Amino acid sequence: MIQIPRGTQDILPEQVELWHKIEEHAKALCHLFNYQEIRTPIFESTDLFQRGVGDTTDIVQKEMYTFEDRGGRSLTLRPEGTASVVRSFVENKRYGLPDQPAKFFYNGPMFRYERPQSGRMRQFTQFGVEAIGSKDPAIDAEVISLAMQFYQGLGLKKLKLVINSLGDPESRKAHKEALINHFKPSINEFCSDCQARLEKNPLRILDCKVDHDHPLMGTAPSILDFLNDESKDYFAKVRQYLDAMEISYVVDPTLVRGLDYYNHTTFEVMGEGFGAITTLMGGGRYNGLVSELGGPESPGIGFALSIERLILALQAEKVEIGQPKPIDCFITTIGERAKQEVPVILNNLRRSGISCDQDYMDRKIKAQFKQADRLNVPFVVVMGDEEIEKGVVNVKTMETGNQQEVEIQQLASYIKEHIS
Ligand code: HAM
């Protein structure tokens, strides 16, 4: 038997309604906030992520599905959506449109070669938003409030919003030097990746999964002590907006995020997942990314969350949504003549917008009723040869047990009338 690849999953028909509900919720919410959907390719040039996400990150160094196509090009299955959206923004010259900032949302599969475990997949689905073109702190607050409203609107309660600021390039530079001085004397005690990152990008040491518990991690200089006045002011304004919107948060100076494009505001939402508190969503501001990818200086901010982790959190909090939707009616038959009539009746019902089905397994009438029960249909139509002669059928309303003789010609309108 051929098995599903590690770290991937089938979403079976019983679960798919939940996915639809979540997707519809995301779409409706984005409309409320005036974000429009964008769909970009599943694979992109490898360079895009090397330059966008950063070549000292775990994602680029260890987790990408990179392959050469038959034309010798290096392509990568997208590990995240931001770099692709920014590429599209630049390539389609969306910065030239009068409607700025450009506000996008996306929903689709991402791929990372990680060690699979509950809530960590190799193929997972991200819903994300990106607002490109504005450096107004109000849009930072808008993006964060959209994320919170997304979770709260689905019924999640145990959420914790964590925010931080990584400051502007000047603040980052001062912090970088402090980090190098902090780690350099003991760098031999760290993994080889951290050693390689020390001079190039010491911030990455702070989110190393291997050296997570090294005592120097806890005493590392905090970025908040290195913010220049402009960066401090920006962060204060974001917090003021969040306070005014009554969105509670905790400032965590160790929140550096695992992608290189961030500056100023970063944030994550923690929630209850797979038996422990986990990161449900992450995002932040990326003011240099558009120019890094060949566009004009254009600031941006966004977040992404995975539907898989969201579903774990919904299960952990016992939130029930997305029960499968039953069809309207099931047709049972007694006798050969009746059976022959069913396909046309089904076809007419479906043309009138009524969802319906029949037995295709030659079941006895009792088993046909059992099938109707399993499908949880509100109406069961019973057709016998005698009724067919008279051009009628019996319609049973399952909730009340009522049976009513209805003319075949009137069946669709009868069901439509009586459906709640
Ligand atoms: P990220 O923190 O790498 O950020 O991922 C965002 C979210 O994707 C995580 O919080 C988590 O819910 C989910 N996620 C990541 N990896 C996995 C995985 N292997 N399995 C299941 N879920 C996963 C980004 O991707 C940025 N592009 C976010 C962003 C958008 N920043 C600005 N705009």
Q: Which residues line ligand 1 (CB under 6 A)?
A: 80-82, 112, 114, 119-121, 124, 126, 128, 130, 258-259, 279-284, 302-306, 308-309
* Mean pLDDT rounded to a whole number for the chain: 95
Secondary structure, 3-state, 69-137: CCCCCEEEECCCCHHHHHHHHHHCCHHHCCCCCEEEEEEEEEECCCCCECCECCEEEEEEEEEECCCCH
**146 pLDDT exceeds 80?**
yes
Residues 224-251, mean pLDDT to the nearest whole number: 97
In this prediction, residue 161 has a pLDDT band, given cuts at 50, 70 and 90, of very high
State the pLDDT at residue 256: 87
> Which pLDDT tens digit goes with each residue over 60-86?
999 999 999 999 999 999 999 999 999
State the pLDDT at residue 277: 76
**324 pLDDT exceeds 90?**
no
Looking at the CA of residue 116, tell me the nearest atom of ligand 1: 19
Residues 22-38, mean pLDDT to the nearest whole number: 98
Q: Determine the 3-state secondary structure of 382 from DSSP.
A: strand
**341 pLDDT exceeds 80?**
yes
CB 383 within 8 Å of CB 330: no
Residues 346-353, mean pLDDT to the nearest whole number: 97
**274 pLDDT exceeds 70?**
no
Residues 6+ apart with CB under 8 A from 306: 110, 121, 124, 125, 126, 127, 280
**276 pLDDT exceeds 90?**
no
> Which pLDDT tens digit goes with each residue over 113-143?
999 999 999 999 999 999 999 999 999 999 9
State the pLDDT at residue 323: 84
| Residue 96 CA to ligand 1 centre (angstroms) | 29
> Which pLDDT tens digit goes with each residue over 355-391?
999 999 999 999 999 999 999 999 999 999 889 999 9
State the pLDDT at residue 56: 87
Residue nearest to atom 20 of ligand 1 (CA): 120
